[in-house]
Chain A
Amino acid sequence: MRRQVPARELIGRPVVSLAGDDVAEIKDVLLSASGGRILGFTLNGRGFFSGPLKEALPWKGVQGLGTEAVMIAGPDVFCPVEEVLAGTGPAEGNVIGNRVVTDEGDDLGEVTDLVLAVDDGAEIVGYEVATPSGECHFIPLPRTISVSGEALVVAAGEQ
């Protein structure tokens, strides 16, 4: 059953092993340079005083992404954050806050979130963009031309 969720819904989601222990929780979603692929997630520990973990969860370690938890076989699927980001271009990581510009030079606003389509796994289907006046738009991924550390360029067209 496929549903569309904004990526922020995953923040704080518990990461649970098949043995039934909540070993971590989702901190951030890591994206590929083109912005079209989820590379993995950074993690926070569980518990009141827990902060960010050194380990990250690579996408291939995700057993299932459901309505309540992200399932993994066990904590040995974690790896250092650098390994998850390795092999991507210089512009990876967080696109939230990037400006969105059309290829004709119009500024459409700022990226406020990714939109994911989730069933057994998850893929990025587009971006949530807020205009300066505060309106919220959805820009589907096929319209995205390029992504850098600062901006998203999309094809001009109806918004």
Chain B
Amino acid sequence: MRVREVINRPVIDTSTATIVGRLDELVIDPARKRIVALRVAGVKGAANLLAWKDLSAFGADALTVESVERVRGVDAFEPSWVVDPVWLGKRILSDKGNGLGQVMDLEFDARTGRLETILTTEGPRPAAAVLGLGSYALVMAEDAAPLKAMTRDELYQRAKELGLPGRSSMTKKELLRALS
């Protein structure tokens, strides 16, 4: 599924069978490369954020939630937890300082919330290559070296660059899983 195609999809409260809002934005954490929250427009009051774990389903036509109460205000979340990076339209730089175009769209897995592909003005790139997203640019590794081909040390280096916690005790398999 792509971000641009899901914006404005209705959010339905399954306990009342009513539409309680519309999907406004996906909050995607660049470190974990997952959707961590959904911004919902149209809910009364200051509530407009739904944690990914509180989403019941991300369907082709609508998103479902057990109850509209699951949609909270930003104060209900730990400050460090809710990141608010802007992905679409962001300039992309490689870790070597070269321009890689701009972000056109993002492809994600609707079941797990995992970010899979960055669709850029210069073609698709794997989300695994994302190193960071800041105010100025999205930074991606220039070498599209597949993670599977990397040694345990190389994987550890990549995990170190990303600041992944618990990396020193991870096996090669665990590092692979954490990085992809």
State the Cβ distance, B7 to closest chain A Cβ, in Å.
Answer: 23
Number of A interface residues in the complex (CB < 8 A): 19
Contact A16 B137 (CB under 8 A): yes
Interface membership of B49, Cβ < 8 A: no
Contact B95 A19 (CB under 8 A): no
Interface membership of B81, Cβ < 8 A: no
Contact A20 B137 (CB under 8 A): yes
Among candidates A14, A17, A22, A64, residue contacting B94 with C-beta atoms closer than 8 Å:
A64
Contact A21 B97 (CB under 8 A): no
Contact B97 A20 (CB under 8 A): no
Minimum CB distance partner of A63 in chain B? B95
Alpha-carbon distance between A16 and B133 when the two chains are bound, in angstroms: 11
Interface membership of B134, Cβ < 8 A: yes
Among candidates A20, A21, A22, A64, residue contacting B96 with C-beta atoms closer than 8 Å:
A64
Alpha-carbon distance between A22 and B136 when the two chains are bound, in angstroms: 6
Contact B139 A71 (CB under 8 A): yes
Contact flag A68-B132 (CB < 8 Å), given A16-B139, A19-B139: no
Among candidates B30, B94, B95, B136, residue contacting A21 with C-beta atoms closer than 8 Å:
B136
Contact B132 A69 (CB under 8 A): no
Interface membership of A65, Cβ < 8 A: yes
State the Cβ distance, A122 to closest chain B Cβ, in Å.
Answer: 10
Q: What chain B residues lie within 8 Å of A64 (beta carbons)?
A: 94-98, 142
Interface membership of A80, Cβ < 8 A: no
Minimum CB distance partner of B133 in chain A? A20
Contact B93 A69 (CB under 8 A): yes
> Considering the complex, which residues of chain B in the window 19-53 have a beta carbon less than 8 Å from any beta carbon of chain A?
30
Kindly name the residue among A20, A21, A66, A67 whose own CB sees the greatest number of chain B CB atoms within 10 A. Answer: A20
Contact flag A70-B97 (CB < 8 Å), given A16-B139, A18-B161, A20-B138: yes
20 A–B pairs (Cβ distance < 8 Å), ordered by A? A16-B93, A16-B136, A18-B131, A19-B131, A20-B132, A20-B139, A21-B134, A21-B136, A22-B134, A63-B95, A64-B98, A66-B96, A66-B97, A66-B99, A67-B98, A68-B98, A69-B97, A69-B137, A71-B94, A71-B139
Which B residues contact A (CB, under 8 angstroms)? 30, 93-99, 131-139, 142, 161
Q: A16-B137, A66-B96 are in contact. List 14 more A-B contacts (CB 8 A).
A: A16-B139, A17-B139, A18-B131, A18-B161, A19-B132, A19-B133, A20-B93, A20-B135, A21-B134, A21-B136, A64-B97, A68-B97, A69-B97, A69-B137
